[in-house]
Amino acid sequence: MKPLSSLTKAVFYFRAMRYLLLSLLLIPFLSEAQPLQPQEVQIPMRDSESLAADVYVPSGCSSCPTILIQTPYWKNWFRYNLPLDVGTDINNSPYAFVVVDWRGFYGSAGALNGQPNRGEDGYDCVEWIASQTWSNGKVGTWGPSALGVVQFQTAKEHPPHLTCCVPVVAAPQFDYLTYYPGGAYRTEYVEQLDALGYGLSTILQANPYYNLTWQFAENGAWYPEEMDVPFFMIGGWFDHNVRDMWNIFPAMVQNEPTNVDHRMLFGPWTHGGHGSAAPGTAQQGDLNFPAAEGWETEKAVAFFAYHLLEQQNGWQNEPRIRYFQMGRDEWLEASEWPPISQTVNYYLGSSSDISTTLGASGTSQYSSDPTDPSPTIGGPTLRADLLQGPYDISGTVEARSDYALFETEALTDDLSIQGRINVKLFVSTDQLDGDVAVRLTDVFPNNQSVLMRDGIQRLRFRNGYSQSDEVFCSSGQVYEVNIELDDIAHTFLTGHKIRLLISGANYPRFDVNLNNGQQMYTSGDSIVSTSSVHFGTNNPSRLELPVVMNVSVGNIDDEPNDLNIYPNPATDVVWVEMERAQNANLRLINTLGETVGQFNVQGSRLKFDVSGLKQGIYLLEVEIPNGVTNVSRFVKL
């Protein structure tokens, strides 16, 4: 891990300002509109300090709901473009806006007094707003990234006048795996956070193992039961907060009060901050998603209108989860995440193939030179000098020779996945330590290899992340490694291929392993390692994909009126009862769309044996002579 030079820090700091401008889509407005002239105020805090704030009140407003934005990136930028399609047209806004500099940043720099409690500061801001003559007492919060995290911290304090929250690409957790995924330090991420003024690197580097410090931090940042106002969380499949958002949201739903309905919108978006890509834009890296453009604003506007303006706009009928299925480029709905899918094993094999069939044993080698690591191209990056999002890596990463590559044949049908991917590998290396970095790509018919997911595992941490778990490698010994990749909703289209690259680095997204087995994150001699991926019967290296039902027959009905399946789930025998079952045809279908059983029912009741089926989810298609088709699910245990 290389320390930042003063020049590099200065460059990062300059780019950080550009980061905010682009993330809020300010640039187009700078040359076209005069900045707003808000009222500049000091909001008193409970410790007698005060925070600098800009107050925007529409003309003629005598009792308005308010949008509160708390930012560490300088409140003045919002004078060029308020969010939610307001821009600089504040007088036609139904809301007042209050934008506050965080304690210790910009106009509030002088208020820093010990370790700030940003939740308490947020509480005091909400209640100050509610006491103003132009306020009707309803306060909503909005903001991306750090501006989103502070909304969770504010809600945790339960200010009485907080009505609802819209955090964008944000989650409140502060946990070990966020900063050390697979035990490997997230170099570029922490460097960018340092450049933005957070100064986390010192404490992070002092705690490279999972320990009591991490336990304390994680416990303090996990409080889903405290979110007692409606949240509308907005995320992006190419953001770096995917895992944390999908971990916290179901816990919030499980703990929500009876009068609160949390919602989630997940689009094909990056975190934003540099370049043109941000939540809501169509262009994301090398891919374009016009069907998702602007949805993050449209839905947030509807959410605020329902909760702050009390408009009966149908928001209460919005699905719990609305997500974008990439590849097919369509919005889908779900009541929980992930939707019903089946884990299907795609085994690595000889001739660099990936298939659902476990083949003969073999190995594939790759080398890793710490002085020339495999480079980061795209992915969920944050640092301003790196590409962010889904980029073609065929001419960069794949133009090198330091990786093992496996891929499917060109798909003969669409393959849709929804959920979290696991990569299970059996590897060996000739050094004491090493990293196993994986990249999952969608290979287009024109041979573009577009990065969809990546991950890493440091071999010394293959058994766990505490110092007592640390164990080094023996040359030639085969070790099982599991690398969990972030959730995704993506369809690999007909004619495309699924490709998996395995290398010893992905730098600077992750710290470079010197392969020497010595103390991490210190200078020392680097060693070129040679590692092997083992596959086949004895070492079934594989992709474990959450595959969606691939059927195009009838309408799936969880409870058809004339069809009863029991027991469900089942272990050995399933009974099917139907009201209209004279001469009905039944077809049993697995998650790959394959027919695994066919039956004909002359009466109204059928019993069939499922003991020989693999565990998982199946569809039962029932077709009666009048042409009506029902499809229902059952689970084999």
Token pair, residue 65, equals 């709901």
What integer pLDDT is reported at residue 3 of this predicted model? 33
Confidence (pTM): 0.85
Q: Is the pLDDT of residue 33 over 70?
A: no
Determine how many CB atoms are found less than 10 A away from the CB of residue 477: 9
SS3 516: coil
Q: Is the pLDDT of residue 637 over 90?
A: no
Preceding omega of 44 cis (within 30 degrees of 0):
no
Fold classification of 33-168 is: Rossmann fold (3.40.50)
Contact 102/118 with Cβ under 8 angstroms?
yes
Residue-averaged pLDDT of the chain:
90
Across the strands, what pairs with 456?
A: 437
Q: Where is average pLDDT lowest: 7-11, 64-68, 199-203?
A: 7-11
User: Domain map of the chain by residue range?
Assistant: 33-168, 342-547, 555-636
Q: Is the pLDDT of residue 26 over 90?
A: no
Q: What is the CATH number of domain 342-547?
A: 2.60.120.260
Alpha helices in 564-607 (DSSP H): none
Angle (CA) 112-117-121 rounded to 5° is 80
What integer pLDDT is reported at residue 12 of this predicted model? 37
DSSP 306-331: HHHS---SSGGGS-SEEEEEBTTTEE
SS3 472: coil
Q: What is the CATH number of domain 555-636?
A: 2.60.40.3080
Contact 588/594 with Cβ under 8 angstroms?
no
Angle (CA) 2-72-177 rounded to 5° is 50
Q: How far apart are CA 495 and CA 448, in angstroms?
A: 12
To which residue do tokens 């931090």 refer? Answer: 217
Token pair, residue 515, equals 């392969």
As a whole number, mean pLDDT of residues 223-230 equals 98
What integer pLDDT is reported at residue 489 of this predicted model? 98
The most confident of the ranges 182-196, 541-555, 602-616 is 182-196
Q: Where is average pLDDT lowest: 84-98, 239-253, 275-289, 585-599?
A: 585-599
What integer pLDDT is reported at residue 498 of this predicted model? 98
Reduce the secondary structure of 213-278 to three states and give it as a string.
HHHHHHHHCCCHHHCCCCEEEEEEEECCCHHHHHHHHHHHHHHCCCCCCCEEEEEEEECCCCCCCC
What integer pLDDT is reported at residue 629 of this predicted model? 63
User: Alpha carbon of 507 to those of 107, 181, 373, 437: distances in Å?
Assistant: 36, 14, 6, 10
What integer pLDDT is reported at residue 197 of this predicted model? 87
CA atoms within 13 A on the CB side of 86: 25
CA atoms within 13 A on the CB side of 292: 33
As a whole number, mean pLDDT of residues 441-461 equals 98
What integer pLDDT is reported at residue 4 of this predicted model? 34
Contact 483/425 with Cβ under 8 angstroms?
yes
Per-residue pLDDT band for 553 (boundaries 50, 70, 90) equals very low
What integer pLDDT is reported at residue 446 of this predicted model? 97
The most confident of the ranges 19-28, 180-189, 515-524 is 180-189
What integer pLDDT is reported at residue 18 of this predicted model? 39
What integer pLDDT is reported at residue 599 of this predicted model? 79
290-312 pLDDT, tens digit per residue, is: 999 999 999 999 999 999 999 99
What integer pLDDT is reported at residue 322 of this predicted model? 97
470-509 pLDDT, tens digit per residue, is: 999 999 999 999 999 999 999 999 999 999 999 999 999 9
First to last CA, the chain: 47
To which residue do tokens 């039944």 refer? Answer: 586
Q: Which residue has the higher pLDDT, 56 or 581?
A: 56
134-174 pLDDT, tens digit per residue, is: 999 999 999 999 999 999 999 999 999 999 999 999 999 99
What integer pLDDT is reported at residue 598 of this predicted model? 84
Q: How far apart are CA 84 and CA 468, in angstroms?
A: 50
Per-residue pLDDT band for 626 (boundaries 50, 70, 90) equals low
Q: Where is average pLDDT lowest: 231-240, 377-386, 597-606, 618-627?
A: 618-627
Q: How far apart are CA 180 and CA 468, in angstroms?
A: 17
Q: Is the pLDDT of residue 631 over 90?
A: no
Q: How far apart are CA 159 and CA 126, in angstroms?
A: 7
Q: Which residues of 286-317 are buried (b: 16+ CB within 10 A; e: fewer)?
A: bbebeebbebbbebbbbbbbbbbeeeeeebee
**Beta strand ranges found along 116-182 (DSSP E):** 135-144, 162-168
